[in-house]
Each structure stands twice: as C-alpha cells, then as structure tokens.
Structure 1
Amino acid sequence: MEEQVGRLLDDLDFPALYRGYTWRDDTWERGFLEILDLEREVTAAARSLALGLDHVQKIARRDDLLAPARIAVTLYIGSAPAYWLMLEPEETIQTVERQIRGLGPVCASKLLRFAVPQVFGTLDARLIRVFGRGDSGSQRYPLLDLAVEPSGDRWAIPAGQPGWPGEYGAWAGALQAVAGGLNRDEVSCPHPAGFAAAGLRSEGIWAAADVEMALSCYAAGVLRGEERKDSVTGAV
C-alpha cells in the first residue's frame, strides 16, 4: 500500500484531476454546487444523529430502498469525525449496510462519503477496475484486493468477496494517506470557495473525498483511453 501511495503522489497531478472531476452535471467550473449542497445537508444530519432514508435516496437517486427513518450510526463526536472511523472504517460501512435493505457497497460508500468527507470516499466499479482486480487492461495501481466482472454492458462488483468490507478500510486508508502526503507537501486543493465558506473544508487542505474525486477523474480518463500529460505528471 505504501509503495502504491508513493507512486500516486509522484505520478499524478492531483489539483488538475480534482478540477477535472464531474458528478452528474456538477463541475468544478460551476463550483461543485450539487456536491456542496449534499455535503452540507448530509454532514449536518450525521452530526445531529438524523441521517436517514431521505438522505440515502437523494444520493442514490433510488426510491426502492428500505431503511429506518433514522440510521443508527454515530459518525461524529461534537463537530469532529469520530476517532474510530479511521481505525475501523469497515465496521462503519457494515453498520450502514445492515440497516438499508437493497443498498450495495457503492451506495453505502457514497453515503459515508457525503456524511464524513474528511474520512471517506466513494468506491465504485470504475475505481476498482483501475485500482483493484478484474480488468487487467485497465489496472494501473494495485491498491485493492477487490474484483469487478463484466455484467452485460457494464461492470459489477460481485457480492460475497472475501475482501469486503476489509478492503473498504484499505481504500479509506489509501485516501487518507494520499491526502496526508499532499498536505505535507503543501500541494493546495483547489476547492471552490463555497466549501470553506460552509465550514466543510479548510482552505487548500485535502480531505479523503477530495482525493477520491481526483482518482475518479483519473480512472475515468484511463477507461476512456485518455491518460493525458495534463493530468499525469509521470509515466503510468
């Protein structure tokens, strides 16, 4: 893991990748306004122990999920992320998954990403193709012992893998390690101004979710066959 994190820090232009990230119709040029609104709402709910089905449905854009009105999970102590999240992230995602019927690992990771962006990031099939196993033509950095497989015209994460949920903990650790390296090297994260104004980020400081956004942009480029020099500073 340490070797791959070092390669990522050496190879990739994280600020450029962060600026190139898109989610639905949200872009850096537009201020990541949809992400900002969801983070503001979901982190506030998580801090007040009010995280519930309505937040899951907004993130997943699905209305077929069954869950309690309030999800029993403690993610914050006061205004700070609970200390145990970094120690045992796999326990946290299991707690969430057990309470939401029909929620797979991708949606569970999205919920945690919006609830505690300092600690968590999304993990989806696109990221596993590039940073895990199952798509040898796309793998670039073997960070994860999780696999994907073709499913029709898409890629899926097979259920029941021995690496789940432990490898979610590895993913969270990798995101935090990259964020720590960027912050130590004083590589500023180009957050839109609204994130610092809302108290969701410290200006220029990378959080785990910011790193995941950059890596998602990189993975999307790999899968499109567009590993351009403006987003990669070293050989891949």
Structure 2
Amino acid sequence: MNILLSRILKYLNGTLFLDDAYRFCVFFILHYQDFDSYTIEDIAGELQTTPESILNFLKYLGFDNYLSFIEIYQRHKQVRFEQIQERMKNIHVSSYVERIKVSNDNEAFLKKIEEVCTKIHDSKRVILVGALYPMSIAVEFQTDMISFGKTVLQYHTYDKDMIFNENDYVIFISSSGRSLEGFMYTRTNLSLQNTTSLLVTQNPTYARKKLTTDTIQVPGRFDGINFNYQIMTIFDLIRVMYYQKYIENVPTNH
C-alpha cells in the first residue's frame, strides 16, 4: 500500500528544490502525529507562504482540497500503525543477525543496536546522511520511525535551515567512511560536534578514528552489494528493537 507518508517521503527525499512543497513536507514530518490539528491557514502562516501555494502541491499529489488530504492522512496513519503491529508480532531479532553477516559477535552487535535505539529515543530528531542508494534503503526505517512519533529526515545540502544541534542523532552511512571526513571538512557550519552521531561503515580505519560518537563496523571492504544488505539489516533491527522496547505494550493515541 502506497500510504500518504511514503508519498510525502518519496517527494521530500528526492526533490532538488527548496520551495514551498519541500517546506510543507518537512512540516508534515515534524508534526506527523498531530497534523490534523492544523488548518491550511495555520500551515501557510508557519511557512510564510499562502494557502494557494500549499493547495497547488496537494493537487500535484492528487488531492482536490485540504480536507480530502486530511481524511487520507487520518486513515493511512491508522492503517500503517496497524500494519506495523501485525508485522512486528513474534519477531526474534537474533534471526535478523543470522540472516546476513553483520558482525563477528552477534551478542555484542545486538547490544550496540540497543544502545543506538536508546539514543534515538532520547533525541528529538534523527538525521540521515549518505549517498542515494543507502538513503533509499532507509525509507522503510524512516516511515516506521515517523509512525512511532520520531522525526527522521534526510540531510540535503541545499537546505540551509537544517543545522545540527545537541538534540539530534545523526546517522552517517558510508561503506568506505571517506565521505564522512569530507562532509566534516566542508560542512563545518552544521555544528556536528554538538550532536550525538553514528557511522555505519566497512572501513576499520574510520571506525578507529572515532569521528562520530558511535561506530558500527560491519565485515567486508568496499563491498557495495553486501553493504547494502548489511545496512538494510541494521535499519530493520533498529526499528524492530525500538518498537519492542518503546512502542509495544505502551499505551498510545495511535
């Protein structure tokens, strides 16, 4: 099912334009849990634009008016959470680790993932940084975490309003790790040092450099195909373990 949240993320993650449509999508993600409490005039005021500009984007998505958008939002939000509940039943995380080689010590690896879940829970926002394909793999993780009430955004170089802060958890995905070093050199204005951060890489050199708060080093050396499966498994583990620890059996308003 191509739910509304997925459609918004597809546009937001892929667009190259910092315009009203982009800002609307960011607002939608930031306020996903209570989006229906905002009128279109409220949103236009927050974004310093006009209701007509927002309606133009909604028509691009296939909606005739704001009310029909809200109706689909409410329906899809409920459906998605019910899907997650059904899919998460009786999942054993050990089977995920055994499915593909992500560590030489499964017990220590799962402990690291649990620590990542805790830091994500303690953060106000999760920022994903990486190349196109790894970021496309992360969309399911992004969708579920937003459904859980956690803001998860991909970093775009053209969005000058996105400055990292102490409440962010920044996840870098780089098989070689070199892009992280380049990012830190060219993006000094982002204040990465103020955040809690994680690097997922195959390169032991960058694991030892400790450029980020945490590092997950997976087996392999610049093996792009295997790395894609590894990060898919890691994102699956994070969302499953996060759900089991912080969402399952916890009363919510979903």
Q: TM class, shorter-chain normalised? A: under 0.3
Structure with max Cα Rg: 2
Higher strand share: 2
Where relative contact order (Cα < 8 A, 6+ residues apart) is larger, the structure is: 1
Higher helix share: 2
Task: Give the alignment's TM-score, normalised by structure 2.
Answer: 0.26
